[in-house]
Amino acid sequence: MSRISNLSEELLIKILSFLPTKVAVSTSILSKQWQFLWMWLPKLEYNLYRTRYVSEPPLKKFIDKNLPLHRAPVVESLRLSISDKLIIPEDIRRWIEIAVSRHVRELEISYYSENQNIFPSSFYTCESLVILKLEYMALMDVVPSMVCLPSLKTLKLRYATLIDVPSTVCLPSLKTLELESVKHKSNESLQRLLSICPVLEELLVDFCTEHVVGEFILEKFSIIVPSLQRLSLFIDDDAYYLDRYVIDTPSLVYFKLEDWNDLGHDCEIKNMPNLREAYVYVAFFRLKSVVKSITSVKCLTICSEILKEGGQDGYGGGFVFNELEHLKICLCKKYSSNVLAQFLKDSPNLRVLEISHMNRHGFDELNRMVCGNQPSHVPECLLSSLQTFTWSRYFGRRQDREIAVYLLKNARRLETATILADTWEHNVPNLRMVKELTLSSRASSRCELVFLEGHDVVADESLTEDSSE
């Protein structure tokens, strides 16, 4: 204890800053030197939960007494997680006002409120605030005539309610916006929020129907942001209320779309000429609307299907992915193999191919994946560019084997083929998988075939001998 006490107060405060606030405060009993060290902490975190048989929570008394006396000139962060109903909006307003007066940079509040304003007037023009995270509260209902947070760069709302966005609100420096299960009072509220963020670069929107009920049902929405570079959009499979959405983001370089809804809502996705990476998980009838806008990608992860039956052709070709070098495709749908065939045909410069069955994706209920007809002509990428092929969770079924054999048979420049076997799912022995693919013909004499099962590696020894000659 004497050794650590010999350290400078500045260093001791630095050490305390890595501890939870409750633990840091407890060090005040160690000695007189430690008694008030915690009051210089730049980061404060308080969790106020209901305590039985008390009229006033002890932690509330502690905060009321000590927060006004806190000695740190700048509060780097204040985190309040409140589930005690004895804590009222006036209490929170008072604590936030103190934090604002200490030039707070990050504010995180979790507090359930129904149209109750918990922010003091000084908050709405706070010049120091950089990061704001809010949970379980209604926003933009009662605000001053002018709201401007000039330094705010990150805003995260979770399970919040967006009542309205007045035109007087301005977030001139906001770069990152995350909206998770946010309720919207009107169809225009999302775009109004985006319109007050002139330099927004990253947006995440997660529409979860579990928390969207009654008057807060969103029938349509738009995401129109000229400056946006990264967009992640999640639409729940129970979003029955949604009719249409529009995405217009010409500067986008990364796009992630998970639209699990099998109902026929419309989507309009305008061209993204700068797009370099995309993650797409959509129903087959929505695939064409997405594909036509992402032809500039270099790296693509996709989970969908193309139906060849009943006149349904998915996106039906007609698009060329000249820039696409890395394709990762999930084969969890019945007609996923048709998507693979189409992208091999439309991606003449593909270098890396990853096939997988993503863990979160369930099997298709209709007999699982079927293998479509092999292309009449070998795709250009197999003849001239594909170098790396990986199959994660290779089940060894007939349809899996047909695809793997076709790729090995036709990929002339293939250097590495790695098969990560899943012997449990369909009870196909690993040795059988190894024999089937090892004995299949290969277009590339340089191709190294490697099998992985757990931590085991089974190399193609015959190929290694041939290559060394």
Residue 247, strand partner residues: 223, 269
Residue 16: the pLDDT is 72
Angle at 223 between CA 221 and CA 228, to 5 degrees: 165
Angle at 88 between CA 90 and CA 210, to 5 degrees: 125
Helix (H, G, I), strand (E, B) or coil at 253: coil
> Distance between CA atoms of 376 and 207, rounded to whole angstroms?
42
Report strand pairing: 388-394 vs 416-421: parallel
In one letter, which amino acid is 6?
A: N
Residue 310: the pLDDT is 38
Q: Going residue by residue through the chain (469 aa), what tens digit of pLDDT does each one get?
A: 556 666 666 777 777 777 777 776 777 666 666 666 777 888 999 988 765 655 557 888 888 888 898 888 999 999 999 988 888 999 999 999 999 999 999 999 999 887 788 999 999 999 999 999 999 887 766 566 678 999 999 999 998 887 777 778 899 999 999 999 888 878 888 898 999 999 999 999 998 755 455 556 678 899 999 999 999 999 887 766 788 899 999 999 999 999 877 776 788 999 899 999 999 998 887 888 899 899 999 999 999 887 764 344 556 667 899 999 999 999 888 888 888 999 999 999 999 999 988 766 555 443 355 565 667 789 999 999 999 999 988 888 888 889 999 999 999 999 999 988 876 665 556 667 777 888 888 999 999 998 887 534 344 433 333 333 3
What is the distance in angstroms between the CA of the first residue and the CA of the last residue of the chain? 68
The encoded tokens of residue 121 equal 């007037």
**Helical H segments across 41-148, by residue range:** 58-66, 89-101
Q: Which of 413, 455, 451, 416 is nearest to 435 (CA)?
A: 451
Residue 90: the pLDDT is 93
Residue 373: the pLDDT is 61
Calculate Rg over the CA atoms of the chain: 28
Residue 31: the pLDDT is 63
**Helical H segments across 347-438, by residue range:** 380-384, 398-410, 430-438
> Distance between CA atoms of 396 and 434, rounded to whole angstroms?
9
**Helical H segments across 142-235, by residue range:** 189-195
What is the DSSP code string of 305-336? ----STT--TT-S----TT--EEEEE--STTH
